[in-house]
Amino acid sequence: MNRRRLLRRLLTGALQNVAFNDCIDLVEGFGFQLVRVRGSHHIFLHPAVPKLLNLQNEKGKAKPYQIRQLLRLVERYNLESEGPQ
């Protein structure tokens, strides 16, 4: 799914049934980098954010509370999406 379209969907509160791979693409679009994977935990780091972001793949879907954490970090640190999408 297109990053902008996914972000618009998430900002309206539709956090259920988000494909994990789409969420990963969105996270990377905001400049986060995958630093390690431990089991189902994918840990991301951003140079401007002092906190780690943890995402879990649960049957191909991202967990809604972790998507909310991402949206809070984006808002708190005024992150902007990179790239053409």
Q: Which structural domain, as residue segments, surrounds residue 39?
A: 3-76
Q: What is the CATH number of the domain that holds 33?
A: 3.30.920.30
| Residue 83 belongs to some domain of the structure | no
| Residue 8 belongs to some domain of the structure | yes
User: Rounded to whole angstroms, how far apart are CA atoms 29 and 31?
Assistant: 5
The total number of structural domains that make up the chain = 1
pLDDT given at position 83: 67
Q: Print pLDDT tens along the chain (85 aa).
A: 899 999 999 999 999 999 999 999 999 999 999 999 999 999 999 999 999 999 999 999 999 999 999 999 999 999 998 866 5
Residue 23 in contact with residue 67, Cβ under 8 Å?
Answer: yes
| Residue 84 belongs to some domain of the structure | no
pLDDT given at position 2: 92
| Residue 81 belongs to some domain of the structure | no
